[in-house]
Structure 1
């Protein structure tokens, strides 16, 4: 774990809201000099605190209107079987998140697809044709009332 001072925390909180800021704009918002900001951001990237910077898209504007939250239980839960399942879902671009969980199912995955037909095709590929998948329980989002990527930094 890395130790963060108050300036690091202000930089991270600001970048979580808008990573497209120029170094000059970032420096102004966090009340630091541009060279200091540049050096700090570089260090935070190098140490892996800033894992990556991305654009967050509106799926409904792109015709990806169905979000599925899916619980998966495997027949065999040995580490190699869990890793194999994780590798399988990692290849699917529609799978946005995959969590190994406990207790309950073995995995929870978040899937974003165009419609129910696209979900059915994906579910067939990922779940129905896999011998080690014992149970699949799917929930379909009817409304997204909150979606955040920001991590609270104390």
Structure 2
């Protein structure tokens, strides 16, 4: 990756819908060169997804919860099974398999605490490998993003 690629990535992280013509004008490349570079970075997996960040409150999911999950057993097949259940749940926005006291950290959105309680029954209480979980309720979201710092 050269400095042009890094500049392209910085622009796309701010707004993935920026026209390639505008990117090219900003960094001094032709639109065709920008297009080739973006295509290559997608093929190489540098650009993993093109997404829109939605307004969760407007869409009826105002509650954000950070959940630490502690497993009963660390058998790899049981970990994989648990991981699949977390990843397949649409309310789970992020899932981290972590070191330390807990085994997973989840970022979850919900319509209400009652909705979250129902979800805990499905995700945690029904899973025989979940020993316990600890929930922190976010009082506000001060920063939300997936931007990766890019240095030139």
Shorter-chain TM range is: over 0.9
Deviations 1:18-46 (A, max 9, x none): 00112212212222111110110010001
What are the equivalent positions in structure 2 for 1:21-32 lying under 5 Å apart? 21-32=18-29
Q: Does the CA-based 8 Å contact 1:88-1:126 persist in structure 2? A: yes
Which consecutive residues of structure 1, in runs of 5 or more, have no partner in the other structure? none
Quote the residue 1:11 is aligned against.
8
The CA distance in 1 between the partners of 2:118 and 2:4, in whole Å, is: 48
Q: CA RMSD in A?
A: 0.9
The number of aligned residues is: 151
- Retained in 1: the 8 A contact 2:95–2:107? yes
Partner of 1:40: 37
The list of structure 1 runs, each at least 4 consecutive aligned residues, that deviate by more than 2 angstroms after superposition, is none
Is residue 2:103 matched to residue 1:124?
no
**Residue 59, structure 1, aligned to residue 51, structure 2:** no
Question: Which digits, 9 at most, give the CA deviation of each residue in 1:39-70, with x for residues without a partner?
Answer: 10010001000001101011011111000100
Q: Structure 2 unaligned runs (5+)? A: none
- Per the normalisation by structure 1, the TM-score is 0.95
User: 2:132 aligns to what?
Assistant: 135
3-state DSSP of counterpart to 1:59: coil
